[in-house]
Amino acid sequence: MQPIERIKEFGGWLNRYRHASTACGCEMTFSVYLPPQAETGRVPAVYWLSGFACTDDSARTRIGAQRDAAELGLALVMPDTSPRGAEVPDLPDRDDLGQGAGFYVNATQSPWETHYRMYDYVTRELPALVEQELPLMTGMRSIAGHSMGGHGALICALGNPGMFWSVSAFAPICNPSLSGWGRQCFSAYLGDNRENWKDYDATCLIESGASAPPLLIDQGTDDEFLADQLHPENLKAACERHGIPCNLRMREGYDHSDRFVATFIGEHLAYHAKALGLMRDG
């Protein structure tokens, strides 16, 4: 881990790092916010996954999570959304496929399979790295995300029972096998056999018996992508059929933007802090 930036915020430190990733076969950049409590001991972490066309910088500059994280004693781990670099395949005229749109899967198709392994990066390589090098509690972690990152948070939690103590999402792509975004990314990264898509589709994972902590999902009613891309009703129905608690909150008038996330990010971090034992009822 090579530190490349350090900024004091709300009594803690917003740090940015670069490292050589084995999973992605390239140099990766990520950010970590360490709350003031990390000066005197180890703290639990929330992993935040961003959406299309974002980087690690998007979360730390747009959604205002650091103030709440400082008050709650939570670290924030904010990875990039895909591998990057001159050697990494890309479609420069697209923001929904290629660099910036890794979709949090392990690609199996050429030319993507060597570098586009964001699932392993988020669930294996990055947690092992930061929990070794930073004052984070080993194994005490939760996960959240927005849009494509909300999809990533759901599938990482569903595919790795016990790894994350809680999971939440804003406007996630809940059933990507049925959405335009999901179909194009899955076809490119995973091939045309739709059976292979199910391992990275939250609704399909639940239908196949995957377990997870209770799900917290916020969805804006004025989200321009709600009808065609997100399908939260499918996820909710699958959870009801399989006994997984899912608190789907339809937020009247809110859209798909970072301003929607910023409005409710404090509630999500409090939800994770409670699951991680930092808060108690009353």
Decide if 211 contacts 244 (C-beta within 8 A): yes
- Asked, for residue 93, whether it belongs to a domain, the answer is yes
Q: Is residue 188 part of a domain?
A: yes
pLDDT of the residue at 150: 98
Percent of the chain with pLDDT over 90: 97
Give the pLDDT confidence score for residue 246 in this predicted structure: 97
- Does 281 reside within a domain? no
The answer to the question of residue 64 being in a domain is yes
Peptide bond into 111 cis (omega under 30): yes
Residue 26 tokens, joined: 């390239």
pLDDT digits (tens, 9 = 90+) for 211-267: 999 999 999 999 999 999 999 999 999 999 999 999 999 999 999 999 999 999 999
pLDDT in tens, 121-145: 999 999 999 999 999 999 999 999 9
CA–CA separation, 147 and 99 (whole Å): 16
Burial 44-62 (b: 16+ CB within 10 A, else e): bbbbbbbbbbbbbebbbeb
In the prediction, which pLDDT does 104 show?
A: 98
pTM of the predicted model, to two decimals?
0.97
Number of domains in the chain: 1
CA distance 171 to 150: 7
Among all residues, which ones are annotated catalytic? 147, 223, 256
In a domain, 238, yes or no: yes
Beta-carbon contacts of 177 under 8 Å, excluding residues fewer than 6 positions away, are 183, 186, 194, 197, 198, 201, 203, 204
pLDDT at 281 over 80: no
Give me the domain span that covers residue 198. Answer: 2-276
Closest residue by Cα to residue 174 from 145, 202, 194, 148:
202
Give the model's pLDDT for residue 105: 98
pLDDT of 280 > 90? The answer is: no
Kindly report, residue by residue over 26-46, the tens digit of the pLDDT: 999 999 999 999 999 999 999
CA distances in angstroms from 97 to 52, 116, 256, listed in the order given: 8, 11, 19
Q: Is 70 domain-assigned?
A: yes
In the chain, how many H helices and how many E strands? Answer: 9, 9
Q: How much is the mean pLDDT over the chain? A: 97
Q: Is the pLDDT of residue 95 over 60?
A: yes
What value does the mean pLDDT take over residues 273-282? Answer: 80
Using the predicted structure, report yes or no on whether residue 172 has a pLDDT greater than 70. yes
Give the chain's end-to-end CA distance (angstroms, integer). 40
H-type helices in the chain, by residue range? 56-62, 66-72, 118-120, 126-133, 148-158, 180-190, 202-207, 232-242, 258-275
Predicted pLDDT of residue 48: 98
99's tokens: 């660099």
The pLDDT of 65-94, averaged and rounded, is: 97
14, 6 contact by CB (below 8 A)? yes
Give the mean pLDDT of 81-94. 95
Q: Is residue 282 part of a domain?
A: no
The pLDDT of 84-106, averaged and rounded, is 95
> The domain that contains 112 carries what CATH number?
3.40.50.1820
Q: Does a structural domain hold residue 150?
A: yes
Q: Which pLDDT does position 282 carry in this prediction?
A: 44
